[in-house]
């Protein structure tokens, strides 16, 4: 009974979050560019961290003063520039910004500010070539408009230029995942869209004609879509995980049925899935909001093992090589919404250790060199030895002071 009660509390908490995603910092995972880490801090500033010195760069920060409210996704790099998104809300009045910055000094390449929209910008941005892609919720200035959009922007310097936009049937929190010229995005109504994002004059008169096919999941799709070997993998808030064959799907494919004949499957894992699935060596690792982790056969969806940790899992785990004596073994670094990052064996799901953050973690850990970097929900960036899991340092991503 206590386990059931705890699970019900988790579901109510998640449902409340879905009804009103009040901006909350601490979800942005760091990326590495030229041995520097870039990450969105708790207040919605993109900052640069030097792993060699263990310090923030005080001269590299956007915006320079007050942040954007919250940055959920990781930034992306195109050429000499870095791009990201953030938003804040007062009641139902939300203001978001897509920004483009110089990697060298953090200055805006689009004037004083980027593209400002009255909407929530939750999911990961992406790009096809020099076209920046991002999803939105409904626009505040549209009383009876669509519940969401996929936007395409030109990334060149000067001013942000809209190339095209496609209305969606729901809020787009999943972010955009690209595979070659095709962009995948999902909505909170459960629709998966496969969209041709190339510069092609065939689509000039009707941007919606870019939609190659759609699929209707059983539940809302809040988390990222994973692309691997001609297939996409994703979870929904009806406790399912899906594999769809992107090579065999078309506009004439069934919109709500998986085609087992082409290797597709749908598996119920018993709890809502928000985190992006991770795939390696024929195994799909699925993390759920009840703290469970499932290893599924990539070909069939059959479960190889399952285990659980304390706390919700809302972001993808990170695969890494854990030292064990004179050898190394593959493991998952799994972030917990309660606290800490758990080390789980990919072979049998056994716990192998823990990176003790002492704080909730809702971002994907980053491996760089021999360290694991964790952006904790309280706004700290902590780093640990991947060999012995000991903490090596901590910095406050807002003020820049050390916290170790």
**DSSP code at position 401:** -
DSSP-derived pairing of the beta strands 115-117 and 31-33: unpaired
Q: How many CA atoms lie within 13 A of 254 on its CB side?
A: 11
Alpha helices in 262-341 (DSSP H): none
From residue 353, give the alpha-carbon distance in Å to each of 5, 34, 153, 174, 331: 27, 30, 44, 30, 10
Q: How many residues does the chain have?
A: 404
Q: What residue spans define the domains of the chain?
A: 2-313
- Across-strand partners of 238? none
Query: What pLDDT sits at residue 21?
Result: 57
Sign, Cα dihedral of 287, 290, 295, 299: negative
How many whole angstroms separate alpha carbon 277 and alpha carbon 288?
10
Q: State the distance between the two ends of the chain, measured CA to CA, in whole angstroms.
A: 40
Query: What pLDDT sits at residue 257?
Result: 93
How many whole angstroms separate alpha carbon 26 and alpha carbon 339?
13
Q: Residue 329 has which token pair?
A: 């073994």
Q: Residue 112 has which token pair?
A: 């004083």
From residue 243, give the alpha-carbon distance in Å to each of 147, 240, 343: 26, 10, 26
From residue 84, give the alpha-carbon distance in Å to each of 13, 136, 306: 28, 13, 35
Element (H, E) at 16: helix 2-19
Please report, in tens digits, the pLDDT of each residue of the chain (404 residues total): 444 434 444 444 444 445 445 778 899 999 999 999 999 999 999 999 999 999 999 999 999 999 999 999 999 999 999 999 999 999 889 999 999 999 999 999 998 889 999 999 999 999 999 999 999 999 988 888 899 999 999 998 788 899 999 999 999 999 999 999 999 999 999 999 999 999 999 998 999 999 999 999 999 999 999 999 999 999 999 999 999 999 999 988 878 899 999 999 999 999 999 999 999 999 999 999 999 999 999 999 999 999 999 999 999 999 999 987 788 899 999 999 999 999 999 999 999 999 999 999 999 999 999 999 999 999 999 999 999 999 999 999 999 999 98
CATH topology for 2-313 is Methylamine Dehydrogenase; Chain H (2.130.10)
**Residue found under tokens 């901590």:** 394
Q: Residue 143 has which token pair?
A: 């009383």
Sign, Cα dihedral of 301, 302, 304, 310: positive
Q: Which of 173, 170, 168 has its CA nearest to residue 122?
A: 173
DSSP-derived pairing of the beta strands 176-179 and 182-186: antiparallel
Are 307 and 293 within 8 A, CB to CB?
yes
How many whole angstroms separate alpha carbon 396 and alpha carbon 56?
9
Biggest alpha carbon distance in the chain? 63
3-state SS class at 123 = coil
Its pTM stands at 0.94
């Amino acid at each position: 009974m206590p386990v059931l009660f705890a699970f019900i509390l988790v579901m109510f908490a998640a449902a409340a979050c879905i009804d009103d995603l009040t901006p909350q910092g601490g979800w942005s995972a760091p990326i590495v560019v030229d041995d520097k880490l870039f990450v969105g801090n708790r207040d919605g500033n993109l900052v640069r961290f030097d792993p060699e010195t263990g310090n923030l760069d005080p001269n590299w920060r956007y915006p320079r003063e007050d942040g954007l409210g919250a940055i959920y996704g990781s930034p992306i790099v195109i050429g000499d520039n870095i791009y990201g998104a953030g938003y804040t809300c007062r009641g139902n009045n939300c203001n978001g910004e897509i920004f483009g910055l110089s990697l060298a000094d953090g200055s805006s390449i689009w004037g004083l500010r980027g593209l400002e929209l009255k909407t929530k910008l939750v999911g990961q941005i992406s790009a096809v070539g020099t076209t920046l892609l991002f999803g939105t919720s409904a626009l505040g200035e549209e009383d009876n408009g669509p519940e969401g959009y996929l936007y395409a922007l030109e990334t060149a310097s000067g001013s942000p230029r809209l190339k095209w936009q496609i209305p969606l049937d729901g809020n787009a929190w999943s972010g955009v995942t690209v595979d070659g010229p095709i962009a995948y995005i999902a909505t909170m109504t459960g629709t998966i869209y496969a969209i041709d994002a190339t510069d092609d004059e065939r689509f000039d008169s009707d941007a919606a004609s870019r939609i190659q096919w759609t699929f209707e999941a059983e539940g809302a799709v809040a988390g990222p879509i994973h692309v691997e070997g001609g297939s996409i993998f994703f979870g929904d808030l009806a406790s399912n995980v899906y594999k769809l064959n992107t090579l065999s799907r078309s506009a004439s494919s069934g919109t709500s049925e998986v085609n087992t004949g082409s290797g597709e499957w749908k598996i119920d894992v018993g709890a809502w899935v928000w985190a992006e699935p991770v795939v390696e060596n024929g195994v799909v690792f699925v993390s759920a909001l009840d703290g469970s982790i499932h290893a599924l056969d990539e070909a069939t969806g059959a479960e190889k093992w399952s285990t659980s940790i304390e706390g919700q899992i809302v972001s993808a785990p990170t695969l890494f090589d854990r030292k064990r004596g004179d050898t190394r073994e593959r493991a998952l670094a799994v972030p917990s919404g309660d606290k800490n990052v758990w080390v789980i064996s990919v072979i049998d799901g056994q716990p192998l250790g823990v990176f003790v953050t002492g704080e909730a973690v809702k971002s994907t850990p980053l491996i760089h060199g021999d360290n694991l970097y964790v952006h904790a929900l309280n706004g700290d960036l902590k780093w640990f030895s991947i060999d012995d899991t000991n903490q090596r340092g901590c910095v406050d991503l807002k003020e820049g002071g050390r916290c170790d």
